[in-house]
Structures are given as C-alpha cells and as structure tokens.
Chain A
C-alpha cells in the first residue's frame, strides 16, 4: 500500500438522518486503498456502532480516521453524558437509550459488544458529564 490517509468527520447528537455518513465515507476510503474486504467489513460494523452511539447519546462528536501500512485507527470522541460504568455498558443487552430510539430499532444494548467483537482492539474511556473517547484499532498484517 504505502499510501497514508487521515480524515475527520463531525457528528451531531440526535441527528439520525446523518447517522452512518462517516462510516460510509471511511468504507469508501478503505475500498479505494484496496484493504482486504474481511477487514473492511469488521471496521464498518465497529465504526457504525460508534457513530450511532454518538448520535444516540452525545451532544456532538468527531470521528478521526487514519490508516498507515500497519493499521487502521479510528477515534470516536464526543462531548456528552459519558458512561458511568464501562464494564456494564459492554454487556450485551445493557442500554440507556430512550424509548424513541428503541422504537427505531436502536438501543438494544448490542452496540459496544458489536464493536468489541469486530475490532482487533477497542479502548473506551469516559468521564461522566463530559464525554467519551473510543479507539478502534484494526491490524492490516
């Protein structure tokens, strides 16, 4: 490959009409770079879940995307309510989503577990009342 890419997307809390836009752009970039389809698929699942989490829970956020020869790194950082208990949030089925969001078919408590399953490495840090930072790493070799 040899080519390096770095991009940034902003995400607005509550704007479900744009949810998935950043993930879709990242997918296009990875396809253009010729990254293995199996890795792209896992990256897309993890990124989309993180993007939806910002839309569903935070006030605003950004997604920073970078690729080099060895790895894909996606950092999702938001200003929002934060996560009180990260361990609990990682449990399948645990959710703090509102009923409106659940009616849309989101908020089933599968987001973070899906991210964990699909990312090679997932790091979550959060401060209640301030926001959350999630880092997804995918190895290319």
Chain B
C-alpha cells in the first residue's frame, strides 16, 4: 500500500510533500514523544501525532518514515511543511482523533 492509497481511503488532507505520495507503507507508529518515535518507529511506517513543529520532519527524515498524519485538525507550522516538501515525505491531516485514525489505518493495512 502507498501513502496515496491511504490518503484516498481515509480521506486525508495533504498539506505538503506530494512528491512522496508513492512511498510504500509498511505499518504505523503512534506517539507524541519524539524520542519514543526516534527509538521505536521504523522505516516505511506512518507516524500519527499531534506535534506540528519542524522537528517532526527531522525525525521523519532520519527514520525514513513513509508519511506523517497530524490528528485533531492540527495544521503544520510553515517550516514543517517546507521541510516535508524538501524531504518528499507527505505531511497529512485529519480531523479524527489519534484513536480513530489509528483504528482505521490498522484495519486498512493489516490485510
């Protein structure tokens, strides 16, 4: 499954990083603690979080994540979106809570 398919099936907003929508998604990780994601997320995963600052993209890039989903209608900071474009890692959004979007994403990619 690609990030683009997840955007379509879960009706997500694409803030930036469109050039990375063909990235393959291997799973997901949910956390708002940056060191937790740094230590425990893995390449190709989608990161679900409420953090909107630029360091999110630094971590997404270092960990080679497939995409980031901001929950609860949160919008990225301007420099966060800019770095997502540079790194070509999609920055996505939903009005759903972390709980809801995680459940839906899990259903979608477990098959």
Contacts and interface: CB of A to CB of B under 8 A. Distances in A.
A51 to B, nearest CB: 10
Q: Is the interface of B mostly helix, strand, loop or mixed?
A: helix
A2 to B, nearest CB: 27
Interface of B: 32-36, 38-39, 43, 49, 51, 53-55, 58-59, 61-63, 79
Interface string A117-128: 110000000000
A19 interface: yes
A27 interface: yes
A110 B39 contact: yes
Interface residues of A, number: 23
A111 B59 CA distance: 14
Nearest to B49: A105
20 contacts: A16-B55, A17-B54, A19-B55, A20-B61, A23-B62, A41-B43, A44-B62, A44-B63, A48-B62, A49-B35, A52-B35, A104-B53, A104-B55, A105-B32, A106-B34, A108-B34, A108-B36, A111-B35, A114-B35, A114-B38
Contacts of A105: 32-34, 49, 51, 55
A110 B33 CA distance: 9
Contacts of A90: none
Nearest to B77: A17
A45 interface: yes
Interface SS majority for chain A? helix
A114 B33 CA distance: 13
A49 B53 contact: no
B38 A45 contact: yes
Contact of B35 (A23, A24, A41, A106): A106
A20 B39 contact: no
Interface in A72-116: 104-106, 108, 110-111, 114
